[in-house]
Structures are given as structure tokens and as C-alpha cells.
Structure 1
Amino acid sequence: MTTLDRRSFLKSAMIAAAGATNLHMLAAQTAPLIAPKSPNDNIHLALIGAGIQGQGDTKTALQVPGVKLVAVADCYDGRLAHAKELWGADVFTTRDYREILARPDVDAVLIATPDHWHKQAAVDAMKAGKDVYLEKPMIHLYSDGPEIIDTARSTDRILQVGSQRVSNVAYSKAKELLAAGAIGKLNTVNARWDRNSSMGAWNYTVPLDASPETCDWPRFLGTAPKIAWNPEHFFQWRKWKAYGSGVAGDLFVHLFSGTHFITGSHGPTRAMGTGSVRYWKDGRDADDVMLALFDYPEGFNLSLRVNFVNGGEESEGFLFTGDEGTMEIAGNSVIVTRVPHERDPGMTIGTFTNDMQRQLTAEHGRKYPVEHPAGSTYAAVENYSAPRGYSDSYDHFHNFFNSVRTRRQPVEDATFGFRAAGAALLSNLSIEKDAIVHWDPETMKLA
């Protein structure tokens, strides 16, 4: 049993990220120069979308030294009022995020809107000269990806996607272990994210004052189909495909970002999904149970599962299987179980004649003489755990603000984010088409 302290974990993270950092630095050499912010200056942050995720993200972001919240945009007046309760009466609030983008004192925005607003808010922000932390999934439609990537490049803004697993020190350790051959050659990855509660199934509370007067319903709808005011759609938007991306966009995308970070893969080439609304039959059109299989060009298969009626407690994790062992990620811990192949393959000779058995036994003995291993004991199981109280969300925001200051590319740029979200949404596409679907992870296009 091995427990690593924070310093050891961070060292592993730096080693694992070195290759990606070199690529980012090479790209930066050809990009227009923008003066880095002084580490002593506050980065002025604005929040766009002050729901559950947005407020939680902001609380974490403000723990990073040198960050100040100056503005909040949301379509519900109650959340704007609460923003002032949380962060002070001097915080500027508005229903229209374009008013935030027009402010010269805003350096960066945190976008935590419903998925169908991700692309437009991010593109508008970058064109207004703001750096962007964009909640996952990066896209709602496949056409969103190229536009976000192109805008980030043309404006030379920092855009980081909010799948914090790529900043997790445990995942960095898993990446290091896999590359070092701890479990041999990888052949399968099994990942899950299960829940068994009403809140876990997105049945969020609707406030008593919800109405067309307190909620900007037309602005919320944006490009979505125009329907009559519906408070459940407004406050529980993840349950409908018009605004969200289902369990694939909410949870599968985390599993993809983790898989891609650890393996170094750009994504799958073939996908097959299945799912349905099995329990939460409340009018939603987003499945509450989904399973999917993916083929990766590196020679492994990925199996994903989300179950909102799993009969137990919430459960998230990975199992990486190689030809010499397994590596499990549970929370902020990594457990490696090594089972190396035996040198002696054994024999199946009992059905042969006695004479043939003697000949084969003699030949086998010459080829595989009996060995008597010596030396130190062998650790079949090793456990690596992040420090108690560790937060990968904090590290992810710390990495983002460091990129804002230094103008170096972030740990999860738009290309990485598109490859993770594009792969995740293959599950939805397969179910919709009732067919196997194909994706080119290099060109990031549906085949």
C-alpha cells in the first residue's frame, strides 16, 4: 500500500503534462504576443449563468489568489439578487450577458449556461476580448466545435473547458503508471457514473416566484424551439434535449476527458449506444439509463454506463485493464493490481498416450526449466491517494488563471474539449439513428 503526498502527486502531474506543454509552447511561439498579467494584479472575473454549477464554480474560482468577481449574468432575477448576497452589493448584475462583455474591467468569463448557449456565449466573449472558462460539454451541436476552435485561434484568447479531471493529480498518476507499463498493454476501459436520487436525476427545485416576470424566458430559449413559459424547462433544463445534451453531455464527457487524458488518445472511431427513460417518466426526453461501446485506434475498447436508478449510492469510476493487470480510479485514488503472465504457459496433454505425454513433458522441461524466484517481496496491489481534502476543481481553475496570466495554452483547450464532447455525443447520435456511428478524432468530423 503506497500513499503519495501532494508534492509527489504534483511532480507526477508535471511529468505527465510535459509533452502537452511543449506542444503548447511551440504553438505560442507562432501566436501574436499579448502582455502577460502581473501575478500581483487581480484577474477580474464575470459569471455567465449563475445556476447550481455556475455558483459552485465561482465559489471555487474565487479561492484562487488574485481573482475578483465583478459581474454576474443570469436569466432569473432571484439568482442575480443572490449573487449580491454572496459576493457583495457592488457586483454588477444583468440578464443580458452582452452588457458584461462590453465592460472593460472584465478580463475573463466563466460560462455555465445551459448547453445550447455554450457556443454563442463563448464566441461572443472571445470576440469581445475576454478569456473563457467554458463548462462542459463544450458543444451542444457538432457544428459548435469548429466555430469555437476557430474563434479561439483568430482572437488569440484563452479558452479552457471545465472537465476538471485533466487537472486531477490522481489522473496524472494514472497517466504516468499506464505509460510506464504498470498494467501491460491496455485493451479495455470500463467507466461508470451512477446515481439513485431525485436531485441526481436533475429534478432541481423550482422557486416559488418563478414566472415570466422574474425569468427572462425568451432569452433563455435562444435558439431552442419557441414554446410557452415552462418553469420546469427553465430550472430543470438538463432533462430536455433542446437545452442540454443528456447524460452523455453531462457525465459521459467527464469519462471521455479522463480517458483521453490518461491514454493520450484523441478519441474513438466507432460507437454504439443504447438507452431510454427507464424510471423518471416525468415528461423528460433525455434518457436516465445509457450504455455505450467505443472502438479506439490505439487498440482498446471503452465501455460507458450512466444509470440514474442504480439502486444504491452515487458511484463514479474507471477500470483500465491491460494484459498484465488492472488500474482502478475511484474518486481521488488509483489502485493498481498487477498479474504478470507466467513464463511457463502450461500443457494440456492428459488425453494423449503415455508415451506422447512423456515426450512432451521432457521437451517442456527443457524449454521451461523450474525457476525459484528470489529477492524482495512483490507488491501485487498498490494504492495511490491524493491528499485528504484535495480538490481537482480548484486545480483546474488555478491552471486556467495561470494561462490567463501567462498566455500559455490551458490544460484543456478547445480542441481537447471538442474531442471529448464530440465523442460523448456519439452515444446520443447512435441512439437517435438506431445504428453504429463513426467519428474521425483527428479531423473531428462525423464519418
Structure 2
Amino acid sequence: MIKKDRRSFIKNLGIAGATAAILPSTFAAETQNVSILKRKMAKANNKTLKIALIGAGGMGVADTNTALEHDNIELVAVCDLYDGRLEDAKQRWGSSLFLTKDYKDVLKRSDIDAVIIGTPDFWHKKISVDALNADKHVYCEKPLIHNIDEGQDIIKAWKKSGKIFMVGSQGMSSLGNEKAKELLAAGAIGTLNYAEGFWARNSALGAWQYPIPNDASTQTVDWEKYISISEDKPFDPLKFFRWRNYLDYGTGMAGDLFVHLFSSLHFITNSYGPNKIAASGGLRHWNDGREVPDVLLGMFDYPDSQQHPAFNLSLRCNFVDGTSGSTYLKLVGSKGSMDVEWDRVTLKRNAGGNSDDPFLAEKAKNESSRPNRKKMLPPLTTVYDAQDGYKGAHYDHFANFFTAIRENGSVAEDPVFGFRAAAPALLCNESYKKNEFINWDPEKMKLG
């Protein structure tokens, strides 16, 4: 980067280099500037889109509520296998809704443009392919797949259909991710060499201990339909209402939460994914019969590619967090780092000094006290905050989906992107189970 461009870049970042240079102390307080991230909304298209919800659990309801915040979106039908959710849908969205326990009844309707799939993970592929074949646009919750073998089937059906397909890792479309992508491409942190992500919770609901309705039974739940594509087992309300705990139906912490972090990271870096995967963890607290760990650690090697240099990633999930939980994604480069949240990015650039390491701090202090040595400067920090009134990443994700349908455009998280985000997450489960490294070809999307 030539000097003029570099000066312009620093000015645009809002980094007060001059202020930092005249601070009197050797290790002065960190210099911080705040910049506002703004969302420029496209002109609304007046075409009304009619949608249906398949799977009216917690995330399906949240998706539908967010979709209905958009102009000219009409909910026509709701499908779920539990009577209580169908009754709740009627109370929530109106008695005129078409209600059913068979999703194929929804797909037969010619007045439905798009479906939201909020079912347990093991139904994602089947309903997605059937919906595409029925000429419906699809918004499918993450992870796209329940096992690796399903990815290519969805991609094939999507390409054949010509329909819009969005995977629901909603943070993908956030102002924070978009700014981080821009900063990385502009060289704000230099060469990327390491990234890490963390997702922690400490509550029964956060750890998938969802409430079991008092009336849960084979009279109110269509259990036979639920397990019709899985192993035949007797009715178990835990495996219906707390399905994330069981690998026949869910994908554990990796499929629920790691996939969000992969999606954001891959969007920011344009990456296809890692080529080596390892995971470790254990069941530390939620000893409720679940089959998946409540603490999971992952390590990933990202190969050198046209999109980015080689770098390493570490991910952590913890459902035993006594501090109430936190979430972040951090990218570290040769000249700085970024802490990326959906509505904020904190950029820190190296000014040549301040360190938390006591040895390095003492050495730097001694070095700076010598004659003709420059004083040490603090890191230069810029915080990018979303504008007041920002509607959030979830709203933006649906905006992308609906705009693509209306204008025959594209989405940020199509099935190819979704498969590349889901695959390394699901392979964490394999690594944990087998206690070994897993090799993956991120470009060809197959096991190495």
C-alpha cells in the first residue's frame, strides 16, 4: 500500500494517531474512537410474498416473527407435529391460518411462495429437497444438514430448481460482519494468522432443557411421523421437545453454535473452510441423559488459498459458564486484531508497545528509558457500533432472502455456503466420538 493510500485508510478508520503520539506517559491509556455503522435499506418492493412455517418450535416462531416485521409478507400456513404449537400459532398469528401436521399439505398449496423450515436438524434435508421440488423458495434453519452425506443432495436439488435457498445463520448478514469483512480486505489487521470463537451459556433453556408440556403424549404428538425417517423407537417426550440432546435428531453444540461462528468467519474471510479438524470436550454439568457434551473445544487448520493465507482457528462452547455467558469471534493478524459481534466491531492496531505480559512490559519499559529511544505507545482502538434503531442481523438476513426472491437475486448463505459452514461443525462430533483428527476437502466438499 503506497503512503497516500495508507494515510487515507487510517483517516477513514478514525484512528487518532497524532493524539496517541503526544500522550505523555510511557504506557498511556488506550486511545479509542467510535464510528457508527449504518444500514442503507434498499427501496421496498411492493410484491406481497406468502410464506408458510414448517416446524413451529422456538426458532421457527422467532424466524416467522422476524419475517413478518418486513413489509408485504403474509403468513398463510403453519405445520407442526404437536397440537399445542398449532393452537399457539392460531392464537399468535390468526385463526385464518391453514394448520396441518403434514408438511406435504403445505407444499401442495399453489398460493405459497416460500417456506421457513424450523424443524429438528434430521428433517432439514428431506423437507428442503421436497420444498424445492415443489417449486418453493426455502429458508432453512442451520445447520443445513444432519450428516455430511446430505449436503450434495440439497445442492443438487437447489441448482435444479432455480429457487432461492437461504440457510438461517442469521448473524451472517449483520453490520458487524460486513464491517469486519471490509476491514480485513483493507489490511486493517495485516495478515490473518489466527482466529478464535467462543459461545457460552449458563441456564436450563440455554442448555436445551426446553419445557415439556403437560399434555405431551401420542395423542397430541404425531410421534410416528416424527421418527418416520429415523430409527423406530417408542415415544419419548425428551427426544421430541429436547431433541438437540440426541444425535439421532440433532447435531449437538457444534451444529447449534459452532456453525454460527463458522458462518461469520467464512463470510468475513471468503473462506471455503478448514482441511483438518479436531475436537475435545465432555459432559461436565448437564447430566440429564443427553448424548452430547456440554463443553466442546475445536481446533482447525485453514489451508493457504486464493481467498486467504493459512491460519488456525480455535472454537469453544460452554454450557457450564457461571458468569452467565458470552459470545464473540476474534480475528488476529500481523498488525492488529478485531473482536467481531453482530452489532459491533472493535479494531485494535499495534502502535508498538503496550503488553499484558509482565516480562515484555518490563523489557519495553527499560528499553524506552534508554537515551534516544521512542516512548511506547498504546494500541490504537476503534469501535464500530451499529446505529441507534438497528433492527439486527436476523431482520437483515430475511431482508436478503426476500429481496432475492423478488428480484431473482442471490443470498449471502446459499446451500453451498451453508454446507461449507455445517460440514466442519458436524465433523467436530466425529472427531470427538473417534478421538482423532478428521481431514476435510473444503473446496470439493468431501472427506479427505
2:415 matched to 1:404? no
2-structure distance, mates of 1:39, 1:177: 31
2-structure distance, mates of 1:184, 1:318: 17
The CA deviation at 1:3 is 3.6
Q: Which amino acid aligns with 1:322?
A: G
The CA deviation at 1:57 is 0.7
1:387 corresponds to: 387
2:236 corresponds to: 230
Identical positions, percent: 46
Q: Is the 8 A contact 2:54 2:115 kept in 1?
A: yes
1-structure distance, mates of 2:211, 2:310: 44
Q: Is the 8 A contact 2:37 2:385 kept in 1?
A: no
Provide the secondary structure at the position in 1 that maps to 2:148. Answer: coil
1:272 corresponds to: 278
Residues 77-106 of structure 1 show CA distances to partners (whole Å, capped at 9, x for unaligned) of 110111111111111000000000000000
2:187 corresponds to: 181
2:203 matched to 1:197? yes
2:426 corresponds to: 425
2:348 corresponds to: 337
Provide the secondary structure at the position in 1 that maps to 2:384. Answer: strand
The CA deviation at 1:39 is 2.7
The CA deviation at 1:277 is 1.4
The CA deviation at 1:389 is 4.5
Range moving further from structure 2, 272-281 or 46-55: 272-281
Q: Which amino acid aligns with 1:411?
A: A
Q: Is the 8 A contact 1:272 1:430 kept in 2?
A: yes
1:155 corresponds to: 161
2:56 matched to 1:50? yes
Q: Is the 8 A contact 1:190 1:303 kept in 2?
A: yes
User: How is 1:296-335 mapped onto 2 (pairs within 5 angstroms)?
Assistant: 296-297=302-303, 298-335=309-346
The CA deviation at 1:387 is 2.1
2-structure distance, mates of 1:50, 1:6: 33
Which of the residues 260, 263, 267 maps onto 2:266? 260
TM-score relative to the length of structure 1: 0.84
Task: Note closer, same or farther for the CA distance 1:80–1:211 as it changes in structure 2 (3 Å cut).
Answer: same
Residues 382-404 of structure 1 show CA distances to partners (whole Å, capped at 9, x for unaligned) of 10011244310000001100111
Q: Is the 8 A contact 1:133 1:160 kept in 2?
A: yes
Residues 271-293 of structure 1 show CA distances to partners (whole Å, capped at 9, x for unaligned) of 11012211111111011110010
Task: Tell me the matched-pair count.
Answer: 392
The CA deviation at 1:326 is 1.4
Q: Is the 8 A contact 2:79 2:101 kept in 1?
A: yes
Q: Which amino acid aligns with 2:179?
A: K
1-structure distance, mates of 2:219, 2:33: 57
Q: Is the 8 A contact 1:316 1:331 kept in 2?
A: no
2:435 corresponds to: 434
The CA deviation at 1:372 is 7.4
User: How is 1:14-163 mapped onto 2 (pairs within 5 angstroms)?
Assistant: 39-163=45-169
Residues 147-180 of structure 1 show CA distances to partners (whole Å, capped at 9, x for unaligned) of 0000000111110000112210111001111111
Residues 311-356 of structure 1 show CA distances to partners (whole Å, capped at 9, x for unaligned) of 11121001211111111124521111111568xxxxxxxxxxxxxx
Q: Is the 8 A contact 1:159 1:414 kept in 2?
A: yes
Provide the secondary structure at the position in 1 that maps to 2:78. Answer: strand
Q: Which amino acid aligns with 1:406?
A: E
1:361 corresponds to: none
Q: Is the 8 A contact 2:154 2:415 kept in 1?
A: yes
1-structure distance, mates of 2:389, 2:117: 26
2-structure distance, mates of 1:400, 1:140: 23
Q: Is the 8 A contact 1:291 1:304 kept in 2?
A: yes
Q: Is the 8 A contact 1:290 1:307 kept in 2?
A: yes
Point out 4+ residue stretches in structure 1 off by more than 3 angstroms.
Answer: 1-7, 369-373
2-structure distance, mates of 1:322, 1:289: 27
Q: Which amino acid aligns with 2:442?
A: P
2:223 corresponds to: 217
> How well do the aligned residues superpose, as a CA RMSD in angstroms?
2.0
1-structure distance, mates of 2:374, 2:283: 57
2-structure distance, mates of 1:124, 1:331: 32
1:168 corresponds to: 174
2-structure distance, mates of 1:195, 1:441: 30
2-structure distance, mates of 1:167, 1:105: 28
2-structure distance, mates of 1:328, 1:52: 29
TM-score relative to the length of structure 2: 0.84
2-structure distance, mates of 1:40, 1:126: 24
Q: Is the 8 A contact 1:10 1:169 kept in 2?
A: no
Q: Is the 8 A contact 1:325 1:340 kept in 2?
A: no
